[in-house]
Amino acid sequence: MATYLTPALAWRRLREGNERFVAGESSHPNQDASRRSSLVENQHPFAVIFGCSDSRLAAEIIFDLGLGDAFVVRTAGQVIDDAVLGSLEYSIGVLGVPLIVILGHDSCGAVSATKDAVETGQMPMGFIRDLVERITPSVLTSLRNNETEVNDMVVEHVKQTSHRLVDSSRVISDAIETGRAAVIGLSYSLKEGRADLVSGIGEL
């Protein structure tokens, strides 16, 4: 059963699915009526994907997955809050998922908005401000490292989000320490459709 995959095998399965997608050879697995029926009583996803809400970043499509394969959590700019942490802890602690994927992408609007706010000092209104405040540390780190492009900031934000997740959750950090789970950070190219590994925490 998929739940018993190691973090390394789960990452391999995602990587192979992404390669099929990039090549235009997606197999669209586990999307038929029998698969739907088999999942009525329970689920055993092999990965949890925490990604940006961008409409071009549909996780099941870019990794060529089907029903029951991935537990997916999405917020604009893949920003962590308590509901996200609870969802990710559920996937690790209850569902036994072996791999957490932090999925960012180039030309991210939330990161771009944060870059603009840092450079101009003008904060956006409403709850968008909350997103910007949570992404600001990643943008500031990039600027300190003389990385001024949005896509560099996206990669930095993926890395910082991975570390913040592990630092914030005992459930997840314990799973990593015992080798039951790992966290990887991926940066997705909207044009090529490729998800490249940019960080990893745990045994892969």
Residue 36, domain CATH: 3.40.1050.10
pTM: 0.93
SS (H, E, C) 133-198: HHHHHHHHHHHHCCCCCHHHHHHHHHHHHHHHHHHHCHHHHHHHHCCCCEEEEEEECCCCCCEEEE
Q: How many domains does the chain have?
A: 1
pLDDT in tens, 3-36: 578 999 999 999 999 999 999 999 999 998 999 9
What pLDDT sits at residue 1?
A: 42
- 97: containing domain: 2-201
